[in-house]
């Protein structure tokens, strides 16, 4: 296993971190449903132990993962000498708090679940323009300073899902931050915090953890024929390591940047753990050549060429008078069509608030009048609603 730097801290994290969000599950019950909280604990524990035995020293979970079951599993899985070999990270679900006392209660629950006196790395979970101001105004940073002082948490960070300007604002809001966690992959250079966020945080001395290096598994699926042809052509030309897979291409692209402290992989099978450990062993900062970077750039552009809705998320269509989150809906639809994951699209669509979905469109046409791309917004919203809601009711 290779090890990297972690911001200004005296800690060398493994290049690969173990993410505990997509653990293997037990088979469906009598009702035919697979339940996220029913973790296959023996298999998940073997996977974690294999990773640690092969050098992984950072494990990431959260209060809400696996419907609240992930932290408890991790506490049990780290018994028998494994706790001493890793740093544990988990996240505060600050949206569940209405008073400062709730922060104490939630952290207390997490310490009990994990069976730990202290959490090494503690994150404010999934900060965005909605929950960051609420947590900030409730006093989460003053509370965190106390939790750091009394030793309940070792270091404070945050995970992030929004635009770069807010990312800058959050970092500037406190000198308590030691690290941050962003979504970053070769398809998301300019999305959310993006490459600018990676570089900005590193310049400020923060460690940067990368989540979703495979874009939620999208870049790990069997690629469309056009994309597969590009990977095959690279192999035929001798570009890249022998036998490199699309997954390894994606991970190597992230590891290539020295600003990345580690990447998290939410692994669901032992095979994935074994593969990712091997990939980490032969990757590193600055090891990709210009020809390899060029291959990934061609793949990126080919993926973008498959996008059905030419939405650039300029947000000229917002605010919609009826509250429809037009760019978000189009982004979910585009991803589903490009990467072939209708099931995930329906889940993401379901996460939108009731008043934000496409069925709230009244066809007023204000969006189409201001769209620089001249998108038939009303027609695409109708298609998206039908696409996402097949099987409802």
Cβ-contact 323, 356 below 8 angstroms: yes
> In a 10 Å sphere around its CB, with 0-12 CB exposed, 13-18 middle and 19+ buried, how is residue 305 labelled?
exposed
Burial of 353 (0-12, 13-18, 19+ CB in 10 A): exposed
pLDDT tens digit sequence for 264-284:
999 999 999 999 999 999 999
How far apart are alpha carbons 175 and 204 in whole angstroms? 10
Roughly what angle, to the nearest 10 degrees, separates helices 290-305 and 246-255? 120
What are the start-end ranges of the H helices in 90-241?
100-114, 131-138, 140-149, 164-172, 194-203, 225-236
Strands (E) located in 31-176: 58-60, 87-92, 119-127, 153-160
Give the pLDDT of residue 390.
Answer: 55
CATH class of the region 16-297: alpha beta
DSSP string, 351-372: HS-GGGSGGG-----HHHHH-T
- To which residue do tokens 């494990």 refer? 59
Please tell me the number of Cα atoms within 13 Å of 385 on its side-chain side.
16
Q: Respond yes or no on whether the N-terminal peptide bond of residue 173 is cis (omega within 30° of 0).
A: no
**Domain ranges for the chain:** 16-297, 326-388
Residues of the chain with pLDDT under 50: 391-393
At residue 391, the pLDDT reads 47
265, 16 in Cβ contact below 8 A? Answer: yes
* 212 conformational bin, left if phi > 0, alpha if psi -120 to 50, beta if neither: left
H/E stretch holding 2: none
Q: 87: Cβ–Cβ under 8 A, 6 or more apart, which residues?
A: 11, 13, 57, 58, 59, 120, 121
- Exposure of 199 in the CB half-sphere (CA atoms within 13 A): 5
φ, ψ for residue 245, nearest 5 deg: -100, 165
Model pTM score: 0.86
Angle, vertex CA 65, rays to CA 59 and CA 70, nearest 5: 60
- 231-265 residue pLDDT tens: 999 999 999 878 899 999 999 999 999 999 999 99
- Tokens 């939630």 -> residue: 106
Q: Look at residue 392 in the predicted model and tell me its pLDDT.
A: 45
Provide CB contacts within 8 A for 236, sequence distance 6+.
none
């Amino acid at each position: 296993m290779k090890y990297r730097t972690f911001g200004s801290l005296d800690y060398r994290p493994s290049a690969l971190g173990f993410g505990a969000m997509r653990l293997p599950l037990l088979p469906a019950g009598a009702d035919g449903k697979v339940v996220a909280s029913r973790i296959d604990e023996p298999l998940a524990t073997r996977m974690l132990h294999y990773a640690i035995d092969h050098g992984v020293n950072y494990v990431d979970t959260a209060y809400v993962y696996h419907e609240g079951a992930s932290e408890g599993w991790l506490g049990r899985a780290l018994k028998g000498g494994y706790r001493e070999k890793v740093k544990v990270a988990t996240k505060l679900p600050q949206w569940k708090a209405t008073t400062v006392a709730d922060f104490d209660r939630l952290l207390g629950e997490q310490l009990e679940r994990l069976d730990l006196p202290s959490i090494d790395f503690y994150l404010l979970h999934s900060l965005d323009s909605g929950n960051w101001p609420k947590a900030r105004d409730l006093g989460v940073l003053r509370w965190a300073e106390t939790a750091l002082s009394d030793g309940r948490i070792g270091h404070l960070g945050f995970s992030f899902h929004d635009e770069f300007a807010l990312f800058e604002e959050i970092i500037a809001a406190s000198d308590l931050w030691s690290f941050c966690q962003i979504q970053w992959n070769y398809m998301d250079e300019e999305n959310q915090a993006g490459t600018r966020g990676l570089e900005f945080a590193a310049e400020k001395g923060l460690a940067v953890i990368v989540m979703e290096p495979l874009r939620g598994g999208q870049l790990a699926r069997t690629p469309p024929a056009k994309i597969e042809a590009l990977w095959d052509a690279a192999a035929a030309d001798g570009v890249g390591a022998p036998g490199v897979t699309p997954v390894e291409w994606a991970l190597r692209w992230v590891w290539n940047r020295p600003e990345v402290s580690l990447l998290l992989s939410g692994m669901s099978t032992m095979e994935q753990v074994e593969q990712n450990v091997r990939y980490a062993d032969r990757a590193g900062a600055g090891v990709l050549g210009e020809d390899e970077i060029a291959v990934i750039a061609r793949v990126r552009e080919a993926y973008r060429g498959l996008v059905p809705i030419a939405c650039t998320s300029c947000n000229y269509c917002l605010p919609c008078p009826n509250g429809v989150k037009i760019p978000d809906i189009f982004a979910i639809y585009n991803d589903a069509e490009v990467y072939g994951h209708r099931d995930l699209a329906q889940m993401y669509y379901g996460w939108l608030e009731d008043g934000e979905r496409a069925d709230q469109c009244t066809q007023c046409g204000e969006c189409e009048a201001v769209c620089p791309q001249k998108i038939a917004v009303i027609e695409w919203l109708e298609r998206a609603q039908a696409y996402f809601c097949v099987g409802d009711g």
